[in-house]
């Protein structure tokens, strides 16, 4: 389903051509030795080499750059596939915003989030980003970065954080009510069947109620590409402030905590 100008109904694969540029390379590595970024990850992250296996595997090898002192962090799902809970963090280092993961096994990897780029058009001066992460039922490990007006989708792939794109290689953004194409995003269901969805809460001014819909978002087997799946109506005639409407207007992933970046 599309709008009259042909844009996707929701979520919104961003129409800007820059990578929200939430994804520039941070080139730290195990110890002080530089590590070349995964060439298929689009200059996305830095971290120890190795594959992120399926849950119950060895996980990412220990190592990577030190976590900056100016950091906010929270525990989250297993993101590297070793079956142990990991940690998501947002930090500042030498004027850069960093989004990072520290695993239970001692791996550390991060990506630079630019403050002033085309992705910043989604923000107002002084806005702080926030993030939360989770593992989906298909094994994909996703990170949602809330920019205020949209949420950017990242994945943990091969012990890197990569900016997930659509099939045309544009960064995948979920509209949070500013483009009229969506209102929220969430990871729903239990761990074994959890799926990623975008929400739309359409307001009927005559009835003063909402119709809430959701559309599944699926990742390919690499975790680097996303596509919109089927949509379904969850409820009609819903009151403002109802649980269904609040959920549709939020960014969430199970019960995992959302963290905000430190104050500049």
Q: How confident is the model at residue 19 (pLDDT cuts 50, 70, 90)?
A: very low
For residue 249, is it within any domain? Answer: yes
For residue 7, is it within any domain? Answer: no
Q: What is the span of the domain harbouring residue 45?
A: 12-260
For residue 182, is it within any domain? Answer: yes
For residue 29, is it within any domain? Answer: yes
For residue 3, is it within any domain? Answer: no
Burial of residue 4 (CB within 10 Å: 0-12, 13-18, 19+) is exposed
Q: Which residues contact 77 (CB under 8 A, 6 or more apart)?
A: 85, 86, 133, 134, 135, 141, 191, 254, 256
Total domain count for the chain?
1
Q: What is the pLDDT of residues 31-89, one digit of tens each?
A: 222 222 333 333 334 444 333 444 556 799 999 999 999 999 999 999 999 999 999 99
For residue 250, is it within any domain? Answer: yes
For residue 185, is it within any domain? Answer: yes
Q: What is the pLDDT of residues 120-146, one digit of tens each?
A: 454 555 678 999 999 999 999 999 999
Per-residue CA distances from 101 to 56, 82, 166, 187, 215 (Å): 18, 14, 23, 19, 28
For residue 2, is it within any domain? Answer: no
pLDDT over 80 at 92, yes or no: yes
């Amino acid at each position: 389903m599309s709008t009259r100008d042909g844009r996707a109904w929701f979520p919104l694969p961003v129409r800007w051509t820059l990578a929200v540029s939430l994804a520039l390379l941070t080139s730290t590595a195990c110890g002080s030795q530089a590590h070349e970024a995964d060439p298929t990850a689009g200059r996305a992250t830095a971290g120890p080499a190795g594959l992120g296996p399926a849950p119950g595997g060895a996980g990412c090898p220990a190592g990577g750059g030190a976590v900056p002192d100016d950091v906010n962090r929270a525990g989250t799902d297993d993101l590297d596939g070793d079956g142990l809970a990991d940690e998501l963090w947002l930090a500042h280092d030498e004027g850069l915003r960093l989004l990072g993961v520290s695993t239970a096994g001692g791996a550390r990897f991060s990506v630079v989030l630019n403050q002033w780029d085309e992705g910043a058009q989604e923000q107002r001066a002084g806005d702080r980003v926030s993030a939360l992460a989770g593992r989906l039922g298909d094994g994909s490990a996703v990170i949602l970065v809330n920019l205020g007006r949209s949420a950017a989708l990242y994945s943990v792939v091969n012990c890197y954080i990569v900016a997930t794109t659509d099939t045309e290689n544009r960064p995948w953004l979920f509209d949070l009510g500013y483009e009229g194409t969506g209102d929220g995003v969430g990871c729903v269901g239990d761990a074994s069947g959890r799926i990623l969805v975008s929400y739309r809460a359409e307001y009927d001014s005559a009835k003063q109620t909402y119709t809430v819909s959701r559309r599944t978002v699926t990742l390919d087997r690499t975790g680097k590409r996303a596509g919109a799946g089927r949509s379904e109506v969850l409820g009609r005639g819903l009151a403002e402030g109802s649980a269904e409407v609040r959920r549709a207007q939020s960014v969430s992933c199970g019960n995992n905590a959302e963290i905000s970046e430190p104050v500049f």
